[in-house]
Amino acid sequence: MILELIHKERVERRAGEPKSAWSLALGIILRIVLYAGVIILEVFLFNRLYGKLEKYASGSSFSFLLLILFSIMIIESLFSGWKAKTILFDKNDRFILGTLPISSSDLIASKVSFIYIQQVISNFLLSVPLLITFAVLKEFGPRYYIFSILYPVVISLFGVGLSLVFSVVFEVFGRIVKKNDIVQFALACLGVTALCLIYQLILTLFLEALAGSTTSGILSPELVGHISRSTKFFVPVFYYCSMLVDNINFFPFTCLTLGFTLASIIVGVITSSVAYKRFACGEVEQATKVKKSKKALRVQFGIKHLMKKEFDLIFKDSTYIFSYTALLIMAPFFSFIVISSLNSIVYANIRILVTYFPDIISGLNMLMILLFSSAINASASLSISREGKSIQIVKYIPIKPEKQILAKATIPTILSSISLIVSVIALLVTSNIDLMTSVVSLIAGEAIIVFTNYVGIIFDMNDQRRDSRKLGWINTLLAFVAPILMFIVHFVFSMTGVYVWFSYLVEVVLSVALISPLFFNIGKQYNRYFEMMEIG
């Protein structure tokens, strides 16, 4: 029974994947390439930092390894916790399984097993290469390799316990914040800030690994010393890895590893079982307190009410709060972090390239600004899919299609434009980009935003199956192609030594060309697409 339930979880998680053999094969190949890339990058980074840390003090590379492994375990548990929340507290699942004669313990066991298998796989891909690299560098014996391969099996057990606790925390927290848009929005901003900072940290580490031969900057001797002193708190990674390198204390370290793992599993299973029975087995959600609205209900004219509806769809839907709104707010901060780090990396490490192609940096900066702006905007440009089932309301209310489409495209365009303008000003004020790059980035960015928003609506109206996932991919691809095209222009002109202003001119012309079809007969075209669009 448990095996069948695990299989059901697997099938459910893969429900959205492509079904044709070609797309499946392509998906697998892309995944393998992605995993291989991540493994190569982390091994390269660790290898470079290892040499530097060993110069600082012997043993600091081991502490650093423990820190990375511990970080991987925590991040993995957080992600698994999020997944576990969906797996454990899924409403539909509960509705179907709740009526079948399956015991709660079987259900929980199957779900826990599924999470465990996923954790073992990802640990095997992320942690084992690091352990093997370390063993190769330290020239350890075969026992170390065997235990390295067993690492995911043991540590994932601890991770599962942790994930289960996290899943309950997420579920409880989600229930509290679900009904408060402002809290959701603040949380989303916090989340994106944290991701920006992690990204900056990884970029800086990458820079450290590339530059010079000693530790400096973020990996200061003080920090390395601090990491070495803190390793014993990296439970149970510290004990498992110490068991590998310390022959004398093998038995106590083994006991401590198993003890912590068991404790984590017990706490996780008990917490999630209690939560599962409480949340999943018939607890009724409490309604929110209703705010007494004293505002008189006013009928609005023109497209004001349509604009308000679009605004509500973006700002009051948790899907968009996390995927678009928060990113939009954080885009200037994100652009600043990435572009300033990028400038430092390019100046510090590929100075020769800059000597030969002086305009390459402005081109790269522009590429980054455009990529962030258009990629973030692309997540909100499928305005028809955003309606979900309520798209039928759009179809039967007596409002001209042009008006509806205008309202749909205007809101994300305005929001994305504000974010783009703030990003460019912030970069200009902090001297990360020059005036000319700012102006051209603004023009090109605006053109791409307008283009993707209007094209997104056309895609959406033409897709009878409302396959927003597929459409999202096409639109995101478009959002990436346009900035890359601009960069290619910049790069080619830089290579051929033509004046930089000429490349700027070409980019502006390209931007205008991109949106020019929108000025010709677009109202009638949209009208036709709208009338042809079928719902249901």
Partner 1 sequence: MTKEEIKTTETVESEEYEYPIDIKEVHKSYGKKHVLKGLNLQVKRGEVFGFIGKNGAGKSTTIDCVVGLKRQDSGTISICGYDTKKEPLFAKSTFGYVSSEPIAYEMMTGNEYLQFIASSYDMIQSSFDSNYEFLRRKFELSDDDMNRRIREYSHGMKQKVCLMASLIHNPEVWILDEPTVGLDIMVYEVLVKMLREYANNGRTVFVTSHNMDLVAKICDRVAIINDGVVSDLIDFNKEPLKRKYLSKIFFDTYVKEGQ
Which positions touch partner 1 (CB under 8 A)?
179, 287-288, 290-293, 297-301, 304-306, 308-309, 312-313, 316-317, 389-390, 392-393, 395-400, 531-532, 534-536
Per-position DSSP letters for 383-396, written without gaps between them: TTGGGGGGHHHHHH
> Is the CB of residue 480 less than 8 Å from the CB of residue 415?
no
Task: Give which of 281, 1, 253, 272 is closest to 116, Cα–Cα.
Answer: 272
* Minimum gap (Å) between residue 302 Cβ and partner 1: 9
* Nearer to partner 1 (CB atom), residue 495 or residue 532: 532
Residue 518 DSSP symbol: G
* Nearer to partner 1 (CB atom), residue 168 or residue 533: 533
* Nearer to partner 1 (CB atom), residue 306 or residue 478: 306
Here the tokens at position 269 are 């299973």
Give the separation between CA 536 and CA 521, rounded to whole angstroms: 29
3-state SS string for 242-290: HHHHCCCCHHHHHHHHHHHHHHHHHHHHHHHHHHHHHHHCCCCCCCCCC
Give the separation between CA 421 and CA 373, rounded to whole angstroms: 10
Give the separation between CA 110 and CA 242, rounded to whole angstroms: 32
Helix 435-462 to helix 500-515 angle, to the nearest 10 degrees? 20
* Minimum gap (Å) between residue 411 Cβ and partner 1: 14
Helical residues (DSSP H) of 350-381, grouped into ranges:
351-356, 360-378
Give the separation between CA 305 and CA 19, rounded to whole angstroms: 41
* Minimum gap (Å) between residue 37 Cβ and partner 1: 39
Long-range pairs, 512-520, Cβ under 8 A, ≥24: 512/447, 514/447, 514/448, 514/451, 514/482, 515/447, 515/450, 515/451, 518/450, 518/451, 518/454
Residue 323 DSSP symbol: I
Residues 6+ apart with CB under 8 A from 434: 362, 428
* Nearer to partner 1 (CB atom), residue 476 or residue 527: 527
* Minimum gap (Å) between residue 135 Cβ and partner 1: 54
* Nearer to partner 1 (CB atom), residue 294 or residue 351: 294
* Nearer to partner 1 (CB atom), residue 198 or residue 393: 393
In angstroms, the Cα distances linking 141 to 123, 127, 249, 379 are: 22, 19, 17, 50
* Minimum gap (Å) between residue 182 Cβ and partner 1: 14
Per-position DSSP letters for 132-180, written without gaps between them: HHHHHHHT--HHHHHHHHHHHHHHHHHHHHHHHHHHHHHHHHHHHHTT-
Q: Is the dihedral of CA 163, 167, 168, 174 positive or negative?
A: positive
* Minimum gap (Å) between residue 300 Cβ and partner 1: 4
Q: How many residues does this entry show for the chain?
A: 536
* Minimum gap (Å) between residue 288 Cβ and partner 1: 7
* Nearer to partner 1 (CB atom), residue 183 or residue 270: 183
Give the separation between CA 241 and CA 237, rounded to whole angstroms: 6
* Nearer to partner 1 (CB atom), residue 293 or residue 355: 293
* Nearer to partner 1 (CB atom), residue 321 or residue 500: 321
Return the exposure string of 461-482: e unless at least 16 CB atoms fall within 10 Å of the residue's CB, then b: bebeebebeebbeebbebbeeb
* Minimum gap (Å) between residue 328 Cβ and partner 1: 18
* Minimum gap (Å) between residue 192 Cβ and partner 1: 21
* Minimum gap (Å) between residue 95 Cβ and partner 1: 14
* Nearer to partner 1 (CB atom), residue 4 or residue 531: 531
* Minimum gap (Å) between residue 390 Cβ and partner 1: 5
* Minimum gap (Å) between residue 188 Cβ and partner 1: 16
* Nearer to partner 1 (CB atom), residue 325 or residue 365: 325
Residue 534 DSSP symbol: -
- Which amino acid does the sequence have at 535? I
* Nearer to partner 1 (CB atom), residue 249 or residue 300: 300
